[in-house]
Amino acid sequence: MGGVVVVGQVARDLVLAVDRVPDGGGSTDVTRRIEVLGGKGANQGVGCRQLGADVALVGVVGDDDAGRAVLAQARLDGLDVSAVVRRSGTTTALLVDVVEADGTRRLLEHVPDGTGLTADDVRAAAPVLRRADAVLVQLQQPADSVVEALRSADDTGALVVVDGAPADDAVRAAVLEHADVVRADEVEAAGLLGRALRGVDDAVTAATELVGRGPRVVALEVGSEANVVAWDGGHVVMPLLPTDLVDPTGGGDAFVAGLTAALLEGADPATAGWWGSAAAASVVARLGGRPALDRDAVAAEAARARGGAGG
Ligand SMILES: Nc1ncnc2c1ncn2[C@@H]1O[C@H](COP(=O)(O)OP(=O)(O)OP(=O)(O)O)[C@@H](O)[C@H]1O
Ligand SMILES: [Mg+2]
């Protein structure tokens, strides 16, 4: 499989499991604690790496101990971090994920402005971007860096994959012009389309409309029911896969990783959609947003789920 560059958030993740979050003034024991490399960009990158791609990250950490620690972990994960900026005077982003035993998740995010990518950061990553077969761009990053990433990724002929909702009209236009693959959860889909989705049929219509406007493949979440993937000439509706929900964090990022890895292997959009579903179902059965994917297990689960759904 080829090389993936992920343009997005790199952060420190602190995951705390509790039976129940105490009321104000109370306290409780933490039953499990995980401190790892996190953030949407890093989690998508780790997922793609686990599925067999060479991966480089483009993101920003601070010039602090947390930044050094997450970069060290990214290297251990086999990720190229040569295009991750270490911004002096900036504190590395910290995401605190507090998860109750019933899977209720609360996310506390300290994301200093300095940890957002700038257009200059993206331009400085040109040597890495030029080598990419696929570029994953997170629309949650500052608008001008997103537009720069979309433009330069498109120029190199890479498969351009976006996840999230456009921040403004300029980003929306750049997405439609440059992206090959668009993925959004239900809230983000409303931002992308300018209206809320009303169920599966409406999502199929909306995804198909978006395909007509530029992207080749569009994947949309439909509430807690399903995901739909549309392409020129077809679509697939994938009901959520049975799983023991532990923590919903990271479902979308694993979905993007599965979708992208399959497309890079040359799979058709339906197969890629099922890979996304299988990867998402795997990560939500774990504590924290960091995936633990195995290429053959994801492929097998995707094929099984597809067979069960009748194609
Ligand atoms: N059991 C499951 N089977 C298949 N897909 C699932 C399952 N559980 C969750 N998903 C998918 O995971 C995705 C979650 O997307 P979402 O973008 O909301 O998550 P996230 O990226 O972790 O969080 P956010 O973007 O809100 O910070 C959805 O597409 C959802 O359908
Ligand atoms: Mg998401």
The candidate with the shortest Cα–Cα distance to 39, out of 4, 76, 67, is 67
Residues of the chain with pLDDT under 50: none
Pocket lined around ligand 1, Cβ cut-off 6 Å: 185, 221, 227, 240-241, 243, 249-253, 255, 277, 280-281, 284, 289
Residue nearest to atom 24 of ligand 1 (CA): 252
In order of start, what are the domains of the chain with their CATH numbers?
Answer: 3-23+30-309 (3.40.1190.20)
According to the model, what pLDDT value does residue 309 have?
A: 79
Summarize pLDDT for 35-54 with one digit per residue, the tens. 999 999 999 999 999 999 99
DSSP 88: T
Dihedral over alpha carbons 221, 223, 226, 230 (to 10 degrees): -30
Summarize pLDDT for 123-156 with one digit per residue, the tens. 999 999 999 999 999 999 999 999 999 999 999 9
95, 255, 283, best to mutate for ligand 1 pocket (most atoms within 8 Å of CB): 255
Report the alpha-carbon distance of residue 126 to residue 160 in Å, rounded. 15
